[in-house]
Amino acid sequence: MKVKEGFEMQVVCGEHIIIPAGAENVDFSKIISLNPTAAYLWENVAKKESFSVEDMVELLLAEYEVEREIALEDCNLIAETWKEMGLVQD
Amino acid sequence: MSSKKIQIENCMLMQEITKLFDSGKESVTIVVRGYSMRPFLEHERDKVVLVPPRTPRVGDVVLAEISKKRYALHRVIKIEDDIYTMRGDGNQLCLKEQFTEKDIIGVAKAFIRKGKAVTTDSLKWKAYSFAWNLLRPARRILLAIHRRIIKYI
**Average pLDDT over every residue of B100-129:** 97
pLDDT digits (tens, 9 = 90+) for B82-105: 999 999 999 999 999 999 999 999
Q: Do A25 and B49 touch (CB under 8 A)?
A: yes
| pLDDT tops 60 at residue B23 | yes
Tally of domains within chain A: 1
Whole domain around residue A77: which residue ranges? 2-89
Report, at the CATH architecture level, how domain B10-148 is classified.
Ribbon (2.10)
| pLDDT tops 60 at residue A15 | yes
Task: Report the range of poorest mean pLDDT among A30-34, B31-35, B53-57.
Answer: A30-34
**Average pLDDT over every residue of B117-127:** 97
How distant is the Cα of A64 from the closest Cα of chain B, in angstroms? 23
CATH number of A35's domain: 1.10.10
Q: How many contacts does A have with B, using Cβ atoms within 8 A?
A: 43
How distant is the Cα of A16 from the closest Cα of chain B, in angstroms? 13
ipTM of the complex: 0.86
Q: How confident is the model at residue B2 (pLDDT cuts 50, 70, 90)?
A: low
Supply the DSSP string of A17-77, one letter for each residue. Answer: EEEESTT--EETTS-EEE-HHHHHHHHHHTTSS---HHHHHHHHHHHS---HHHHHHHHHH
How distant is the Cα of B140 from the closest Cα of chain A, in angstroms? 31
**Nearest Cα residue in chain A from B47:** A29
Q: Supply the pTM of this predicted model.
A: 0.88
